[in-house]
Chain A
Amino acid sequence: MSISLMAWGLRLSAQENLLKLLNDSADASPTFRHVTGTFKAERIVNLQTVEAPAGGDLNFVIQHRFGQLNSGGYNFFGLDNATLRLGLDYGISDRLTVGVGRSTVDKTFDGYLKYRLLTQTDGSGHLPVTVTGFGSVSYYTQRYPDKSYLDATYRTAYVGQLLIARKFSRIFSAELAPTWLHYNLVPTTDDRNDEFAVSAGGRLKITRRMSINLEYNYLLPNQVQSEKVRNSFSVGWDIETGGHVFQLVVTNSQGLIESQYIGRTNGNWGDGGIYFGFNISRNFTVGKRTQHKASNNK
């Protein structure tokens, strides 16, 4: 290093060269940096992203969906109805997140863990993608007096997902998520207890603080026979202001957790069976920052 600096030193004649010397020196040293801001929020619309609160940060998330657009003027085109999920996501570390939530649909509680396995880097030591593991348990408490057999086991469902995302550029990021769903109880013997799906989504930034998001959850065919289920397709518009992210969304799913929106979506885009809604996420710093993301210089 010092030799090369010396060699450059010989050729210095003007200030520009002094700066060039520094820049060359900086470019020559091997550094890698974690890519940040792949997505603005923790959800593309419904689908989890690789984003997570930093260690010690708490996110309060309100996901709100109005009723179906095609429910008629009497229901004010869905605005009379509302379902929501209130959630808290806490960063135990920059990699590990724990979340809890409560949804209106079927009065469902859910809890999840999310762990970032790999982080996309730029510079040398290049790693092209961020990979996060996601696991969740949900439990619905809706009373069904005619179904007295519904015990705690039957009301529980599990989700496992691998979230693989890449920030291709400043404005474009995409994510692919193979998904496994397990329902302890399904309506008929023709329905599978284990379902598989592949979810994909992406965002395109339209300004520094806004992006347009798309998300498609493809449920592999012939897994659900007793009811007509559809693939969940959602469009979102992210607006970020300081510690808030607002997302205006349109989706054919009413449910807000994986076992509902990936495995049990009924709405049909074709006949207006879609839901308008929004997600609001607010970040709070409650603990000390555990590690410094940008200080990963080799």
Chain B
Amino acid sequence: MALTFGVSYGQQYFSRTGTVSFFASTPLEDIKADNNQVYVVIDVEKKQLAFSSLLKGFIFPKELMQEHFNENYVESDKYPKATFMGTFSGDVNIHKEGSYVIQVKGQLALHNVAKTVEVPATLEVKGGALVAVAQFMVKPEDFQITIPSVVRNKIAKEVTIKVNANCIAK
């Protein structure tokens, strides 16, 4: 049964262990965090993809920073998730191993604000899996994340987001 559906919907790829990292370091403070529990689905046929992550899953080297991130910046008790859903352009042949450059466009939702982002990414077909890699920048202010003036110089104006997800067909 699974096989039958697998054929008709065989171009959906999933991961529950995708990684999203962000970097907001300045010379004054080293700020970075990783989330290794990001849910990812990529539909190669429909050229759609979605990401979903719990903000509490972001692990910081400094515990206090992690607490401040959750309590004061993204307010994860109120808005627990960061999500992305969108479409991509560019051809991907899942039957042929190799790296495919795509252009992703969609809505990044965080802190109760959804913003359209458009980023280049690569999809790599490798051993039956689909590895999605992307890197882009966002501004905290675009998501109504306010940074008090006393710490403004310690946090980068633009935050670099790196995505890496190894998705397998279901």
Contacts and interface: CB of A to CB of B under 8 A. Distances in A.
Nearest to A2: B170
A18 interface: yes
B59 A294 contact: yes
A22 to B, nearest CB: 4
A240 B61 CA distance: 20
Contacts of A10: 5, 9
A117 interface: no
Given A18-B49, A22-B50, A94-B63, A12 B71 contact: no
A295 B56 CA distance: 9
B78 interface: yes
A31 B37 CA distance: 11
B48 A18 contact: yes
A289 B170 contact: no
A287 B71 CA distance: 23
A9 B67 contact: no
Given A18-B85, A242-B151, A289-B63, A6 B170 contact: yes
Given A2-B2, A36-B70, A54 B50 contact: no
A137 B43 CA distance: 63
Contacts of A297: 37, 57
B164 interface: no
The number of chain A residues touching the other chain, given as a range, is: 35 or more
Interface in A1-59: 2-3, 5-6, 9-10, 12, 15-16, 18-19, 21-23, 25-26, 29, 31, 33, 36-37, 54-55, 57
A208 B16 contact: no
If over half of A's interface residues share one DSSP class (helix, strand or loop), that class is named, otherwise mixed; here it is: mixed
A285 interface: yes
Given A22-B41, A283-B64, A15 B81 contact: no
Contact of B72 (A12, A209, A295): A209
Contact of B71 (A208, A243, A294): A208
B75 A208 contact: yes
Given A16-B85, A26-B54, A289 B2 contact: no
10 contacts: A9-B9, A10-B5, A18-B43, A22-B50, A29-B16, A283-B64, A289-B61, A289-B63, A293-B63, A294-B58
Q: Which 3 A-B pairs have the closest CB atoms?
A: A54-B63, A22-B52, A18-B50
Given A5-B170, A12-B9, A294-B59, 14 more contacts: A2-B170, A6-B170, A15-B50, A16-B85, A18-B49, A22-B40, A22-B50, A22-B51, A22-B83, A36-B66, A54-B62, A169-B77, A208-B72, A209-B148
